[in-house]
């Protein structure tokens, strides 16, 4: 009996931390998603499904869905293939080192990965550019080209600080800052002119 | 109290941080110390909490144990962004914003560490 109690006491700290910082916040998130709130006012008015309706009606949301889908379809099978391959090979020293190398990204800080890869894919000073220049290939704007950027970032999770914005030459400012577009709609909905 | 003296005998990191940063005005080095302190605390506290739970999950069979472990594994699949805003609100309510505690406490609970430690502990053969 005492032994059983010990087990519960052992897992108690972890479960308590997870409850406070993961489980409860998830429920809070769900609750907040049904409310109209600007982070400042004490009132959190009930909005029901309005937030979701607003999202579904924006172009930016569907663009994000599209990009996420492409990313998942390409990235997940590649990782799965690597995982299966590392399971199937014979157990040697090389395969052990490889397995460690495959796991390393999971425990590496995203910030350091982002910094390294923004250097690797830098247009002017990048390693890849250096290699291609040696072969006589023109420089490629890896992270500035809207068609290319997603596939470059897909090598790691999209964590590069200099985010690939849409082509500025196209003048599509709405596309550059999806959040601004959303905020704008939201504000105009609550401004006096629209309520009258 | 003794400003880290006599001869550095009581100079802990938190104390040294202030003396380097605000007496010598080497803010860069002071900040570096702050980061080191922060990482130490997260690592030590996180490992302590995770190892305890991992041991119980690996070796003990108790009612609800599998369910609790499933709940821990489930946290691995939850994007951290979901809990960002509520966590901020929780910390704000507890008055922990802009403090070490506010940064360290949410980082301690690592389901990731617990799950992987459980697997390693299972690999260790039992004595007798």
- Per-residue model confidence (pLDDT) at position A167: 39
Instruction: Decide if A168 is inside a domain.
Output: no
Helix (H) or strand (E) holding B8: none
Q: Is B52 on the interface with A (CB under 8 A)?
A: yes
Mean pLDDT of A185-193: 42
The verdict on a CB contact (< 8 Å) between A7 and B52 is: no
Cβ-Cβ contacts under 8 Å, B111 against chain A: 14, 18, 22
- Which of A60, A66, A61 shows the shortest CA–CA distance to A174? A60
- Per-residue model confidence (pLDDT) at position B10: 61
- Per-residue model confidence (pLDDT) at position B34: 76
Instruction: Decide if A68 is inside a domain.
Output: yes
Q: Is B51 on the interface with A (CB under 8 A)?
A: no
Instruction: Answer whether residue A62 shows pLDDT above 80.
Output: yes
Q: Is B15 on the interface with A (CB under 8 A)?
A: no
Total number of domains in chain A:
2
Cβ-Cβ contacts under 8 Å, B87 against chain A: 21, 25
Cβ-Cβ contacts under 8 Å, B83 against chain A: 21-22, 25-26, 29
- Which of A107, A75, A102, A72 shows the shortest CA–CA distance to A87? A102
Q: Is B100 on the interface with A (CB under 8 A)?
A: no
User: What is this model's ipTM?
Assistant: 0.71
Mean pLDDT of A134-150: 71
Alpha helix locations (H) across chain B? Answer: 13-18, 27-59, 65-76, 81-93, 100-108, 111-123
Joined together, the tokens standing for residue A173 give 């400012």
Residues A99 and A114 in one domain: no
SS3 B48: helix
- Per-residue model confidence (pLDDT) at position A84: 86
Rounded to 5 degrees, what are φ and ψ at A161?
-60, -40
Residues A113 and A102 in one domain: no
Instruction: Answer whether residue B119 shows pLDDT above 50.
Output: yes
- Per-residue model confidence (pLDDT) at position A178: 42
Which among A11, A24, A26 has CB closest to B53? Answer: A11
Q: How far is Cα A114 from Cα A142, in angstroms, rounded to an integer?
A: 14
The verdict on a CB contact (< 8 Å) between A29 and B52 is: no
- Per-residue model confidence (pLDDT) at position B1: 53
Residues A124 and A88 in one domain: no
Mean pLDDT of B2-30: 66
- Per-residue model confidence (pLDDT) at position A79: 83
Q: How far is Cα A101 from Cα A94, in angstroms, rounded to an integer?
A: 10
- Which of B91, B117, B120, B122 shows the shortest CA–CA distance to B104? B91
Q: How far is Cα A22 from Cα B114, in angstroms, rounded to an integer?
A: 15
Instruction: Answer whether residue A161 shows pLDDT above 60.
Output: no
pLDDT over 90 percentage in chain A? 2
Instruction: Answer whether residue B96 shows pLDDT above 70.
Output: yes
Q: How far is Cα B93 from Cα A50, in angstroms, rounded to an integer?
A: 27
Residues A142 and A101 in one domain: no
- Per-residue model confidence (pLDDT) at position B27: 72
The verdict on a CB contact (< 8 Å) between B85 and A14 is: no
| Arithmetic mean of pLDDT over chain B | 80
Cβ-Cβ contacts under 8 Å, B106 against chain A: 21
Give CA separation, B4 vs A188, B8, B14, B23, in Å.
58, 5, 10, 13
pLDDT digits (tens, 9 = 90+) for A69-105: 888 888 888 888 888 888 888 888 888 888 888 888 7
Instruction: Answer whether residue A193 shows pLDDT above 70.
Output: no
Q: With contact defined as beta carbons under 8 Å apart, do B27 and B90 qualify?
A: no
**Containing domain of residue A119, as a range?**
109-160
B82 beta partners = none
Which among B57, B83, B105 has CB closest to A11? Answer: B57
Q: How far is Cα A26 from Cα A145, in angstroms, rounded to an integer?
A: 36
How near does any CA of chain B get to the CA of A70, in Å? 18
Instruction: Decide if A63 is inside a domain.
Output: yes
SS3 A46: strand
Residues A79 and A116 in one domain: no
């Amino acid at each position: 009996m005492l032994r059983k109690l010990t087990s519960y006491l052992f897992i108690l700290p972890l479960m308590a931390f997870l409850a406070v910082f993961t489980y409860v916040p998830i429920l809070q998130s769900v609750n907040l998603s049904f409310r109209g709130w600007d982070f400042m006012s004490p009132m959190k008015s009930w909005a029901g499904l309005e937030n979701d309706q607003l999202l579904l009606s924006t172009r930016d949301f569907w663009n994000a869905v599209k990009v996420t889908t492409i990313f998942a379809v390409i990235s997940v099978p590649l990782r799965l293939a690597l995982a299966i391959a590392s399971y199937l090979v014979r157990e040697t020293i090389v395969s052990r080192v490889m397995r460690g190398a495959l796991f390393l990204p999971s425990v590496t800080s995203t910030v350091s990965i982002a910094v390294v890869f923004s250097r690797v894919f830098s247009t002017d000073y990048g390693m890849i550019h250096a290699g291609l220049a040696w072969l006589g290939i023109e420089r490629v704007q890896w992270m500035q080209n809207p068609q290319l950027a997603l596939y470059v970032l897909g090598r790691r999770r999209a964590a590069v600080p200099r985010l690939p914005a849409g082509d500025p030459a196209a003048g599509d400012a709405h596309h550059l800052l999806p959040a601004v577009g959303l905020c704008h709609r939201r504000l105009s909905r609550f401004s006096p002119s629209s309520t009258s | 109290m003794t400003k880290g003296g006599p001869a550095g005998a009581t100079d802990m990191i938190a104390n040294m941080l202030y003396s380097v940063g605000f007496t010598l005005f080497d803010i860069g080095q002071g900040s570096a110390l702050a980061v080191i302190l922060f990482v130490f605390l997260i690592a030590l506290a996180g490992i302590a909490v995770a190892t305890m739970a991992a041991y119980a999950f690996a070796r003990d069979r108790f009612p609800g144990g599998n369910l609790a472990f499933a709940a821990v594994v489930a946290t691995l699949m939850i994007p951290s962004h979901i809990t960002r805003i509520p966590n901020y609100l929780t910390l704000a309510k507890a008055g922990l914003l802009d403090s070490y505690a506010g940064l360290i406490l949410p980082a301690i609970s690592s389901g990731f560490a617990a799950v992987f430690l459980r697997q390693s502990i299972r690999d260790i053969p039992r004595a007798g």
